[in-house]
Structure 1
């Protein structure tokens, strides 16, 4: 239980940073390029790059390169579950909207 508490505490600490939380909120909707993430959040690319690096280093997101663009997606299944809940609870206008629209099945949230 102590090891699990350490893992969850570290994950929640990563999520507690506003910019990283915003990155993950946008990635909950699907893969995005670094530039699109920066634009969606309203941050300059260098500032966004720093937060993406933290999330990538911690294994929360993964990146793939396509030409000169880098695309990110959420890789950590615990982060997927937490962000699915947060997205459904705080971001979806219709609280009854099916979370499968954001790529997460209801079974993954249970």
Structure 2
């Protein structure tokens, strides 16, 4: 099944598939995903259903799987760790080398 053209023509399908993947994905305490393949399967089942209405997933989609959430705020309420300053410094240095900043 070639679903790529549908993703181009109807971006909301890709948005919903991404939402399903992100909502189903779970992490352990160290931040590693514990069910990435299952999250991938649920997103793939949605894509297949979207492109082929006769397809039935092994278990029906749940409302929470497809919920879209607002983007995070532009600034964090929690201060950045000290290493974040080094990242900003590296970005500034790279931008300076590319001539994006004038001194």
Q: TM-score range by the shorter chain?
A: under 0.3
Task: Determine which structure has the larger helix proportion and give its number.
Answer: 1
Q: Please give the TM-score of this superposition, normalised by the length of structure 2.
A: 0.23
